[in-house]
Amino acid sequence: MAKKVMVVDDSRTVRQQVGAVLREACYDVIEAADGLEGAEMIAGTPDIALVICDVNMPKMNGIEMLALVKQDPKNANLNVLMLTTEGQPALIQRAKAAGARGWIVKPFKPELLLATVKKLAGAALEEAVAAPAPARAP
């Protein structure tokens, strides 16, 4: 089964570009257009392996979304990668303090994005491992 990655960005073009890179690598991609929609989708989607999120968005910015999502204990281990035009060290520190695991500045290089996604979410397709059959009593 393909791992699910959520892309949260107010730019449809960015969502399409990121989605194309991830789909080509066999990830299942879902999208949200702002932090509020992203937070709502995360709350209703339990099997997200990674969230890739912009910082500057309407309704709720990415760092606010991250802080809100991380308040729920079930999201404690949810990996979040910030993908943004911003690069100020203070902003990066705020995101890390809120729980971000990585930061990439736009425009992004597809190979860097994919390598980071693989590191944070793992390979797109999980190997199906057959469990040994239980021993039968004689």
Only one residue has tokens 């944070």, namely: 120
Query: Among the listed ranges 13-22, 51-60, 87-96, which one has the minimum average pLDDT value?
Result: 87-96
Greater model confidence, 70 or 124: 70
Query: What is the arithmetic mean of pLDDT over 9-38?
Result: 94
> Which has the closest alpha carbon to 17: 102, 87, 93, 114?
114
Q: What is the pTM of this model?
A: 0.85
Distances (CA, A) of 33 to 2, 23, 128, 132: 22, 18, 33, 44
pLDDT band at 130 (very low <50, low <70, confident <90, very high): very low
pLDDT for residue 43: 93
- Say how many C-beta atoms besides its own lie within 10 A of residue 43's C-beta: 13
- Say how many C-beta atoms besides its own lie within 10 A of residue 29's C-beta: 18
Is 102 strand, coil or helix? strand
Query: Degrees (nearest 5) of the Cα angle 115, 117, 123?
Result: 85
Tokens of 74: 């079930």
Q: Which domains does the chain have, with CATH numbers?
A: 4-121 (3.40.50.2300)
pLDDT for residue 124: 64
Q: Residue 11: is its pLDDT beyond 50?
A: yes
pLDDT for residue 24: 92
Only one residue has tokens 């500045």, namely: 105
